[in-house]
Structure formats: structure tokens, C-alpha cells
Amino acid sequence: MSDIKKIKTALVSVYHKDGLDEILALLNKEGVQFLSTGGTQSFIESLGYPCALVEDLTGYPSILGGRVKTLHPKVFGGILNRRDHEGDQSQIKQYEIPEIDLVIVDLYPFVDTVASGASHEDIIEKIDIGGISLIRAAAKNYNDVIIVASKDQYSPLAELLRNNGAQSSLSERRWFAKEAFAVSSGYDSSIFNYFDQEEGPSALRVAIDGAKTMRYGENPHQKGYFFGDFDKIFTQLHGKEISYNNLLDIDAAVTLISEFSDPTFAVLKHNNACGLATRPTIAEAWADALAGDPVSAFGGVLITNGTVDAKAAEEINKIFFEVIIAPAYDDDALEILKQKKNRIILVQKAPITEKMQFRSCLNGALGQERDLKIEVADDLKQATDLAVTPEQVKDLLFANKIVKNSKSNAIVLAKGEQLYASGVGQTSRVDALKHAIEKAKSFGFDLNGAVMASDAFFPFADCVEIAHNEGINAVIQPGGSIRDNETVEYCNKNGIAMVMTGIRHFKH
């Protein structure tokens, strides 16, 4: 028995009508009859196509301010009846229920209404009842019915009609049903999350459209996927397909650069900054960022918060890197950067606005608020007899932003708003500091007068002692250790200025 089914009657009731006219023309050409409600029925007739009203079929007008229009056995029976089921066919004849073979419906814009700051009453009115019920009914009966649940599926439907006429295969109907359940589940997740926000989440309901299959995951033997709207945040101007690991570094890069307002350039490798500097111009910032670790910069991800000009591009073009991100590029700078065909060039056109972040863990998931705390001068509490100078405050806050965005345990050494070196992802804070000192010296930096930032408290005074022996004379840390007094005493005895923030910035 063939699984090809013809479309004879289409129920069309949509909020978004842009793009619908092409579909209606194709259906009308094939002799498909239309059934609709209110504004959609008027739209269909304005195009010159006859269209029956749902109210005439059901015998009931739209009631309760439009809350009830399609909720009727003659509508749902027309969708849900099984064409090869003798009992169903007998009943639809008995009750004069027409077969509905295609349902085109979308949902009230609940998410957009919430985002607009509308009142609770207006938001509640945007919870769709009839539309969601039509979607589920038609998707359930995909064996006989095509369901188009969003304007995003208008194009695939138009392509089907152009290629097949008014008929579809089982696999095609199943695809539309799958897309419909994606729409309905995402819609319900949004409603649940709206109601669940006041007391904090009681369950995790995440629905993200735009699944993309990556070339592979972290390694070639692992499959990888990205679920999200990359194009909402970035425009790719040039280069190869973005990889799984690229995305992780891009996420770390945009999070880091968002902390800086003055012209800044950063180089990242494996989610950590290996070079970063703030300077009067982007070209100068690039030069001093690269100087922080020109070895690790090879194959890294570059990001800046200013326009890349030709002068900067000429210097950037001298090294191999995977990705560069900026809010804008001069035309001549792009010509230079595009000389390497695989180089990924991105424009960041929007910030990351999500307030929560999630990661898989055991047989579930962890969720937390993003770490959006950025310390300012007023947050610094003097812990030592010697006070920090205004120049030291600038460097301490600079270093604190970097250490906050580095893998724990982390130590950052900086001077003159330039990252000298960092120790990241170490199993002890002493190891992190020693690694940072070794790196700084290997690239010729003089640590005399530099500052040190730590993402968490010092459990002992050993770190400040090691730093002092290298000429570091100012420290920023959260504080909170039961041995804080030992660290403070060492600083007081040795002329080191130290401030505490009271804010830990672990990043695991």
C-alpha cells in the first residue's frame, strides 16, 4: 500500500503571514480547499482564493475573546481520524466531519511578549491553546496529515509542493511532525521557565533551535554538535568551517573581552588568555598582547573590542592563528587578513545576554548564574598597612579581570595594563605562581613593580613570599582564609600592598 497521501483540505490559521502567499498559490493551483479563522480567512480571500470559515463548520462563533475558536470535534476529528481505520471513517461520516490533510498554524509570540517587558496579563494572553492543540493533533496523526507549525517550515513546504504537487510521502510527513514537536516542546519550555523564575528553577527545561553538526568534537573520534544561533552574535566574513574547539575558545574570548572598555586586544589558547594588553590604539594593544606569549599565540584565537585597521592587520598577519574577532574591520585590513583562506574572521555584532550557563554532569546537568561581577576600585578593601597607589589599582583591577576568566587554580602577573604571564589550571596555587613567574622571565619581563592577582584566597603566606622575592609589590585576592593574618603580616613586614575583594572567581 502506497504511503503517498494527497492534500485535499488545508486548515490555515496563522499569526505570521509573511511568506504564506506562495504556499496558498501552490495549494490553490492543485485544487486544495481552504478552511480558516478570522484574520487568516480574510487574508486568504484577499488573494482571491475561496476559504470556508471554521465557525461555519463547527456552528460556533469565536468566543471568550478569541480564546476558543478551533477547539471542536469537527476540527480535531477532521485532523485525527485515521484514514485506514474503519471505525474512524464510519464516525466521521456519521457526524459529517471533513478530512483535514494539511494544518498550517503557528503560535502566539509568547517569548517576544515576555522579552518586551509586557505585563503579566498580556503575557498570559499570549499562551496559545488552540494552536498548540492543533499542532499536537496533526503531528500525532502524521501518518495521514502534514503539520506546518512555524513560518520556519514555510520554505520546506513550498519546496515539497513545487516538487510533488499536493501530495506527500510518509517520511516527509514524519519530518514535519518532528519539527512540529520541536516547536511545541520549545514553546512549553518557555512558558514553564517564565512561571518557574520567581522561586528559582525547580526543573531544567532547555529548548534551543539551530542544531549544527560539527566536523567532530574535541577530538576526531568524537561526534560534536552545537545547539544555538551563532549568527545572532556573529557574522563570519571569511575562513573555514568553525570547529567544536573553536567555539569553546570563542565563548571564552567574548566573555573575557566584555570586561574591558578601553582599547584592548587578547590572545587565547585553550580558553585562557596567554596575552592581553590595553593601550591607546588597537595596533599597540595587539603588539603588547602578543609580547605576553608569542609562542602560545601560534594557532590561537584573537579578539579585540575595537576596529582593526590596516596597521594592526599588517602585524597580525605575520603569525598563524585560527580565529580573529572584532566589532569591525577597515576594508584594507580585511584585504590583508583574508590572504590566508582558512583564517576565520568574525564580526561580533551582539553580546552574550544569557544570564545562566549549563554543563552536563554525571547523569544530569549543572546550572549556575554567569559570573558577571566586575570589581571596581570601591570594591577593594585595604588589608595591609601600605596602601595601593592609583597606578597599582589600575593594574590590580586589570589583572583581576584576567584571573577571573582563567582556569583555576590561577595566578596572573601584570604591569602597565599588560599581561606578563599567568599560571592556569594548576593543582596548587604555588604551582600556578611558579609557572607564571617562569613564563614571564622566559619572555624577558622584569617583574619588579608588577602586581599579582589570585582567583581565590591564599591558604598560606608562601605565595606572597615567592612573589615578593621576584619584585612584585601589590596583590589582589578575595581573602577568606583562616590564615589571612599570616599573609597580611608577611606583606606588612616586607612593604607589600594588598587589597581583598571578598569575591572568589573559581572557574573549573
- What pairs with residue 419 in β-bridges? 414
Is residue 195 helix, strand or coil?
A: helix
270 is catalytic: yes
Query: Which stretches of 204-271 are DSSP H helices?
Result: 230-233, 244-257
Is residue 465 helix, strand or coil?
A: helix
Backbone phi, then psi, for 21, in 5-degree steps?
Answer: -60, -35
The secondary structure of 76-114, three-state, reads HHHHHCCCCCHHHHHHHHHCCCCCCCEEEECCCCHHHHH
- The active-site residue out of 8, 126, 140, 151 is 140
Burial of 237 (0-12, 13-18, 19+ CB in 10 A): middle
CB atoms within 10 A of CB 271: 21
Nearest Cα neighbor of 488 from 412, 479, 393 is 479
Distance CA 261, CA 85 (A): 67
Cell numbers at 437, concatenated: 613567574
* Amino acid in the structure at residue 206: V
- The active-site residue out of 126, 270, 338, 434 is 270
Catalytic center residues = 140, 270
